[in-house]
């Protein structure tokens, strides 16, 4: 009898708790309506203009912060002098027109908005060769918070020039630059700031041929005229080549030639070994020149790799 009564009490308690939780759960239809009402209040009823920069005080520029993260170093093309990298920039700024009181909209603290509905800072890669391609299937939305702060994070693949110093190849260390800035808004309208880069490599994936040594940034002013100055955020990417593969491909054959060629000169002129080794060395040097032509760009005199200089000297004195 006691067990039956206890079971009834437990059943009643669970039922009441379920009813309370069901009544307290938010209504998805109501939340959808609330967000729709908020979108209407922010963009339609207020006649929001995407072409107007959200400057409150005309004497102060709008602060736009840039955080730049790097996912992968996709490629460094020695032949063309180009670096291709997968990046994920993040922009943040404040638009006073997009503030609201959360308690008026069921404590809704943030919404996601398509970029074409908002004023967006035209921060782009200055030194990109061609248009930087978005690394997404669709345009990523912008997160808008109730205090008027906006955050926009997106992925892109940039291809930028990189002047390589290949003298010490394959043990060379090179520095490439990625430059960000606004094409149309000078400093008096936009104050572009760079956030801390200590977390920029949090999701970086290692490259099989290059080791990323340093990733730093600095802001530079570009003076266009006496009245107009633009800010350029320059990202410095310092990479060192992992030379084990290239050592076997270029350095080891050159070292063999360095020891074998003097031996050839000491062999008797009439010996078959002299002719065989000499012919073999010419073939090896010819193959190395062919590989160097496919791998390296057309050099200026002061940028010829030492291993190539050694091959030239070897052929000259042989």
pLDDT digits (tens, 9 = 90+) for 170-199: 888 999 999 998 888 888 899 988 887 777
| 186-200, 237-251, 284-298: the lowest-pLDDT one | 284-298
Report pLDDT for 96. Answer: 94
Report pLDDT for 244. Answer: 77
Is residue 265 very low, low, confident or very high in pLDDT (cuts 50, 70, 90)?
Answer: confident
Report pLDDT for 301. Answer: 56
Q: What is the pLDDT of residues 85-130, one digit of tens each?
A: 999 889 999 999 999 999 999 899 999 999 999 999 988 888 888 7
Average pLDDT of the residues in 8-28: 42
Q: How far apart are CA 202 and CA 87, in angstroms?
A: 12
Average pLDDT of the residues in 309-315: 68
Work out whether the CA dihedral 302, 306, 308, 313 comes out positive or negative.
positive
State yes or no: pLDDT of 206 exceeds 90: no
């Amino acid at each position: 009898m006691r067990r039956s009564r206890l079971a009834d009490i437990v059943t009643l308690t669970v039922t009441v708790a379920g009813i309370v939780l069901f009544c307290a759960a938010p209504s998805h239809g109501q939340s959808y309506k609330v967000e729709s009402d908020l979108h209407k209040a922010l963009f339609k009823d207020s006649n929001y203009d995407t072409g107007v920069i959200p400057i409150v005080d005309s004497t102060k520029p709008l602060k736009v912060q840039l955080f730049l993260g790097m996912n992968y170093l996709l490629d460094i093309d020695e032949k063309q002098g180009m670096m291709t990298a997968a990046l994920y920039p993040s922009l943040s700024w404040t638009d006073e027109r997009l503030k609201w009181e959360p308690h008026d909209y069921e404590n809704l603290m943030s919404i996601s908005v398509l970029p074409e509905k908002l004023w967006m800072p035209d921060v782009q890669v200055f030194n990109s060769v061609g248009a930087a391609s978005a690394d997404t299937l669709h345009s990523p939305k912008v997160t808008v918070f109730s205090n008027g702060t906006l955050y926009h994070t997106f992925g892109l693949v940039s291809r930028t020039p990189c002047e390589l110093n290949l003298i010490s190849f394959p043990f060379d260390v090179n520095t490439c630059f990625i430059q960000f800035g606004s094409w149309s808004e000078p400093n008096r309208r936009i104050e572009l700031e760079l956030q801390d880069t200590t977390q920029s490599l949090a999701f970086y994936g290692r490259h099989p041929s290059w080791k990323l040594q340093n990733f730093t940034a600095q802001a530079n002013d570009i003076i266009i005229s006496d009245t107009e100055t633009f800010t350029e955020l320059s990202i410095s990417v310092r990479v060192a080549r992992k030379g084990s593969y290239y050592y076997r491909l270029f350095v080891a054959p050159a070292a063999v030639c360095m020891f074998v060629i003097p031996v050839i000169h000491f062999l008797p002129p009439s010996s078959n070994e002299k002719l065989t080794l000499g012919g073999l060395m010419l073939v090896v040097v010819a193959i190395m020149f062919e590989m160097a032509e496919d791998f390296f760009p057309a050099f200026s005199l002061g940028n010829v790799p030492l291993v190539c200089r050694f091959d030239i000297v070897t052929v000259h004195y042989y």
